[in-house]
Amino acid sequence: MQRLGRTRTCYGVVHLAPLPGTPFYRAGSFRSALARAVESAQALDRGGAHGCLLQTADRVYGVEDECDPARLTAVALITEAVRVATRPAFEVGVQIMRNASRASLAVAEVCGGSFVRVGAIVGETLSWQGRVTPDPATVMAYRRAIDAWDVKVIADVASMHFSWPGGDRQPGEIARTAMNVGADAVCLGDPDETRTLELIAQVRRAAPAAPVYLAGHTDHDNAARLVGAADGVFVAGCVTDGGFDGDVSEEKVRSYMDILESLPEREPA
């Protein structure tokens, strides 16, 4: 995982169609879902992105750290296919939603993934599916058991996936705790640009060694301002034709990367 440099790290989010073992999976659609994921990753790769995040989008999710065996197998097959179809330097990440952290780590470790994104690693958060209560001790013990320390953990601390109930814990404090329990970087973002910059500043003060990734909410107009203050970014709709479910546009990826490549280096913390 890149830390600092002239170009901030850019990961394109590849949303996977509902997979086997989930309520809205359409029988016989897995192969087309796999092919589309590979095509999306290749477009990101050709456009100059540093990697992709394979993120399940099954419409409904459990809130526990568990994963149906068929779903786990499907994600592993897709991850392996993407890894083979892209350049060796192209990083592949895994996020099995809502918060199947151990399954995500297992897939990444076995299939050659570089990182996982974890919706919640400390504390708790509310979601449309219910309360998510992570267990970092169990997650890190499992990471040790399968020797997945080479798989980086990017933990959401203030984003569409994580918000501390009641707001009595500040994102900077959450980020510091997340790094303390074993995260390698944190992820944050808000639809309001000013709020996003405030969140970054909070984390810089409380956890200065933590790499900060933006959890979306960027586009070609604000990327220079927002990504310029961070270490990396997850992008989705701004590099597709058609929003969330659109096809990745190689041209849009390339123009977004041109913006990132024009940014000055950040000073190390």
Contact 124, 131 (CB under 8 A): yes
Per-residue confidence (pLDDT) for residue 28, from 0 to 100? 96
Q: What angle do CA 150, 200, 176 make, to 5 degrees?
A: 55
Per-residue confidence (pLDDT) for residue 4, from 0 to 100? 41
Tell me the pTM.
0.95
Residue 142 lies in a domain: yes
Alpha-carbon gap, residue 96 to 58, rounded angstroms? 10
Residue 31 lies in a domain: yes
Residue 3 lies in a domain: no
Alpha-carbon gap, residue 151 to 144, rounded angstroms? 11
Q: What angle do CA 177, 222, 234 make, to 5 degrees?
A: 45
Residue 197 lies in a domain: yes
Full domain range(s) for residue 219: 9-261
- Copy the structure tokens of residue 63: 């809130």
pLDDT in tens, 147-206: 999 999 999 999 999 999 887 899 999 999 999 999 999 999 999 999 999 999 999 999
Per-residue confidence (pLDDT) for residue 5, from 0 to 100? 44
Location of structure tokens 């449309």: 128
Residue 1 lies in a domain: no
Alpha-carbon gap, residue 200 to 86, rounded angstroms? 31
Number of CB atoms found within 10 A of residue 79's CB: 23
Residue 266 lies in a domain: no
The distance from CA 256 to its chain's CA centroid, rounded to whole angstroms, is 18
**Phi, psi (deg, nearest 5) at residue 161:** -100, -20
Q: Which residues of the chain have pLDDT under 70?
A: 1-6, 267-269
Q: What angle do CA 67, 248, 90 make, to 5 degrees?
A: 70
Per-residue confidence (pLDDT) for residue 154, from 0 to 100? 98
Residue 268 lies in a domain: no
Residue 185 lies in a domain: yes
Per-residue confidence (pLDDT) for residue 268, from 0 to 100? 62
Alpha-carbon gap, residue 209 to 91, rounded angstroms? 22
- Copy the structure tokens of residue 88: 């060796």
Instruction: Give the CATH number for residue 137.
Output: 3.20.20.70
- Copy the structure tokens of residue 9: 């790290």
Number of domain units in the chain:
1
Tell me the three state secondary structure of residue 127. strand
Residue 211 makes CB contacts below 8 A (sequence gap 6+) with 1, 3, 184, 185, 186, 231, 232
Mean pLDDT of the chain: 94
Task: For residue 98, say if its preceding peptide bond is cis, omega within 30 degrees of 0.
Answer: yes
Location of structure tokens 């099995």: 96
